[in-house]
């Protein structure tokens, strides 16, 4: 997740200093010599600086203190946010509202709930639930293999594995975003684990792993999770959930129906991939 609190703070400091008019006063006579801007003021031996307006200084120093405090809080929160390794840890640390059903069709259910973290981060978690009959290997292949991923996920334009190590891989995904909105991509690190008899596939965005692509907006903070839960007769209940803290320029009243239709169509195709 790309954040620049230090750059923001420097800009505010620059803004404040350029607004402060200083006077150069002789220490022997305390006679006012001249006033000028701090950033273009020459260094003169035997003189010191005094502010020409106490109220102005107080005002801008207060702005500086507030900016510094806000910057420190933001950096501390960002550090804590970066320390969260997966979606489950995020959910465990957050305040949670009850799940609400958004859509249901052909055995596929979409539910959402609101999460709040650090009293300042408000995000919506989305989950898709359905059943399939197939082997673990075939299900994992549908999720991991870029070629198979593109056959069922209608929201994906391109997919490529950038790095692979046993049960871990880094995937670059370019989404299909309808005109006139800007295109988006995601670089995320995936890992496979197990909780008792449940297979867990977790992902966390790694936006700086490759350089940004011109004309494409990269997701800054994204977490997702697949749960493959064994049921009777060789069936698996699949739960896919995700959150994104990246600001979107697409209004929710436009985005939500598009996402829900795409999810129903995509996971319907996922189900059809199994006999």
Give 47-101 pLDDT, tens digit per residue.
444 445 556 556 666 766 665 545 544 555 567 888 899 999 999 999 999 999 9
Homologous superfamily of the 87-272 domain (CATH) = START domain (3.30.530.20)
Mean predicted lDDT score pLDDT of the chain = 81
Contacts of 255 (CB under 8 A, 6+ apart): 248
Task: Determine the 3-state secondary structure of 192 from DSSP.
Answer: strand
Going by the DSSP 8-state scheme, the letter that residue 136 receives in this structure is H
Given a cut of 70, is residue 27 above it in pLDDT? no
* pLDDT grade for 122, boundaries at 50, 70 and 90: very high
Percent of the chain with pLDDT over 90: 57
Q: What residue ranges do the domains of the chain occupy?
A: 5-83, 87-272
Average pLDDT, stretch 24-44?
42
Q: What is the pLDDT of residue 40?
A: 40
Report yes or no: 263 and 127 within 8 Å, Cβ to Cβ: no
Given a cut of 60, is residue 126 above it in pLDDT? yes
Note the pLDDT tens digit of each residue in 162-201: 999 989 999 999 998 877 778 899 999 999 999 999 999 9
Q: What residue spans of 84-156 are helical by DSSP H?
A: 87-93, 136-144, 146-152
Segments of 91-221 assigned E as strands: 95-96, 100-105, 108-117, 121-133, 156-165, 168-175, 183-195, 198-205, 216-218
Note the pLDDT tens digit of each residue in 247-270: 777 778 888 888 999 999 999 999
* pLDDT grade for 38, boundaries at 50, 70 and 90: very low
**Degrees, nearest 5: CA angle 99-245-200:** 60
What kind and span of H or E run contains 224?
strand 222-230
Cα-based distances in Å from 51 to 13, 17, 31, 117: 16, 11, 14, 43
Q: What is the pLDDT of residue 252?
A: 80
């Amino acid at each position: 997740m790309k954040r620049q609190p230090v750059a923001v703070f420097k800009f505010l400091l620059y803004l404040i200093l350029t607004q402060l008019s200083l006077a150069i006063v002789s220490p022997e006579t305390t006679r006012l010599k001249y006033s000028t801007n701090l950033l273009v003021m020459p260094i003169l031996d035997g003189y010191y600086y005094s502010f020409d307006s106490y109220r102005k200084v107080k005002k801008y120093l207060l702005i500086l203190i507030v900016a510094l405090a806000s910057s420190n809080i933001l950096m501390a929160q960002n550090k804590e946010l970066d320390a969260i390794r997966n979606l489950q840890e995020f959910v465990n640390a957050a305040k949670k509202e009850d799940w609400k059903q958004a859509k249901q069709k052909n055995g596929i259910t979409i539910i959402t709930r609101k999460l709040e973290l650090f009293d300042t981060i408000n995000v919506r978690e989305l989950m898709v639930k359905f059943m399939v009959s197939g082997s673990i290997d075939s299900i994992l292949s549908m999720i991991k293999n870029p070629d198979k991923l593109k056959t069922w996920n209608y929201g994906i334009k391109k997919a490529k594995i950038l790095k692979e190590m046993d049960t871990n891989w880094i995937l670059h995904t370019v989404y299909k975003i309808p005109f006139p909105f800007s295109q988006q991509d995601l670089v995320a690190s995936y890992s496979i684990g197990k909780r008792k008899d449940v297979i867990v596939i977790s992902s966390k965005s790694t936006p700086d792993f490759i350089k940004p692509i011109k004309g494409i907006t990269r997701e800054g903070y994204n977490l997702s999770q697949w749960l493959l839960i064994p049921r009777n007769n060789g069936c698996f209940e699949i739960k896919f959930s995700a959150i994104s803290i990246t600001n979107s320029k697409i209004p929710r009243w436009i985005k939500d129906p598009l996402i829900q239709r795409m999810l129903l169509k995509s996971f319907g195709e996922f189900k059809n991939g199994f006999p």
